[in-house]
């Protein structure tokens, strides 16, 4: 997961997203400038409807910006074809969703293996990757179980294993604790902390300040704009945004 060039792993410049429905324009994101270095742990926070999930969808190549530039590991990706975007998602991006998104009629092993199958990876290599990923999240003993036989916390651990098995450049987590109770939520956050300590680059969307505090840097959105950045105890308020963020 190492970026040895020194440039940001992710660089957004002047990124905006407008949704058009009939005669209504909804400005979900406006003039976003954001860099994420390899090995960073970023939290994107803000109230409901502020653009957090839209930003994560663009970072994950699930959506396209209306304006602006997106460089992933130095390469522009905002204007790629659907096939090119799908290939990069499979090879460079690991997703962790609030709803787990496991396939019910596949076993734990098969769920984690599936994205590797799409790569055309040889069976022996897939087996090794899946085993390593499940051991990493403490779920190797459940590899023959189905999602319905697992608790919510266990399902999210399997989802994390699926995300890391492909050794992506970056992990994108969308409210990864949203469907969990506080105990399981803290356990998943601890797992993300451990993955970050091992070198993973993580960008997590959350509305919970307790979980945002796990990150090295918190980017706060309001009405589609970055209004504040927090590095540890340092807060950078973006005066040009026009918002009073206290």
CATH number at residue 190: 3.40.50.300
CA distances from 79 to 12, 34, 57, 76, 195 (A): 13, 18, 15, 8, 31
Q: Is residue 46 part of a domain?
A: yes
33 assigned to some structural domain: no
Which pTM does this prediction carry?
Answer: 0.87
In a domain, 3, yes or no: no
Q: Report the range of poorest mean pLDDT among 56-65, 105-114, 204-213.
A: 204-213
Residue 242 has pLDDT above 50, yes or no: no
- Above 60 in pLDDT, residue 193? yes
Lowest mean pLDDT segment, chosen from 13-27, 32-46, 125-139, 219-233: 219-233
Is residue 15 included in any domain, yes or no?
Answer: no
* pLDDT in the model for residue 232: 60
The mean per-residue pLDDT over the stretch 110-135 comes to: 95
Contact 147, 155 (CB under 8 A): yes
* Domain presence at residue 185: yes
Q: Where are the alpha helices (DSSP H) in the chain?
A: 52-59, 82-92, 108-118, 123-136, 152-165, 182-197, 209-212
Give the strand order in the sheet containing 24-36.
24-36, 10-21, 67-72, 75-76
* Domain count for the chain: 1
Domain that holds residue 138: 40-64+77-241
72 in a domain, yes or no?
no
Query: Rounded to an integer, what distance in angstroms lies between the CA atom of residue 20 and that of residue 29?
Result: 13
C-alpha dist (Å) from residue 101 to 76, 146, 156, 158, 176: 28, 13, 9, 10, 11
- Higher pLDDT residue, 48 or 12? 12
Strand-strand pairing, 41-45 and 93-96: unpaired
41-77: per-residue pLDDT in tens? 999 999 888 999 999 999 999 999 999 999 999 999 9
Kindly state the tokens that stand for 83: 């096939």
Residue 30 lies in a domain: no
Judge whether 31 lies within some domain: no
């Amino acid at each position: 997961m190492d970026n040895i060039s020194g440039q940001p792993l992710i660089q957004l410049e002047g990124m905006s997203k407008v949704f058009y429905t009939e005669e209504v324009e909804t400005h979900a994101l406006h003039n976003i400038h954001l860099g994420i270095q390899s090995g960073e742990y970023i939290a994107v926070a803000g109230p409901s409807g502020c653009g957090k999930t839209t930003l994560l969808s663009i970072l994950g190549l699930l959506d396209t910006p209306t304006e602006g530039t997106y460089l992933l590991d130095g390469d522009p990706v905002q204007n790629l074809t659907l096939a090119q975007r799908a290939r990069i998602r499979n090879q460079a991006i690991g997703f962790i969703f609030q709803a787990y998104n496991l396939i019910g009629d596949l076993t734990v092993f098969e769920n984690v293996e599936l994205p590797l199958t799409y790569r055309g990876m040889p069976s022996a290599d897939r087996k090794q990757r899946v085993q390593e990923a499940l051991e990493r999240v403490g779920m190797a003993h459940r590899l023959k179980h189905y999602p319905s036989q697992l608790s919510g916390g266990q399902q999210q651990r399997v989802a994390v294993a699926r995300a890391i098995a492909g050794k992506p450049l970056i992990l994108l987590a969308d409210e990864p604790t949203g469907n969990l109770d506080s105990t399981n939520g803290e356990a998943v956050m601890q797992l993300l902390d451990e993955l970050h300590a091992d070198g993973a680059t993580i960008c997590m969307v959350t509305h919970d300040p307790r979980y945002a505090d796990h990150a090295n840097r918190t980017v706060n959105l309001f009405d589609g704009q970055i209004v504040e950045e927090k590095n540890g105890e340092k807060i950078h308020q973006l005066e040009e945004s026009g918002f009073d963020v206290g």
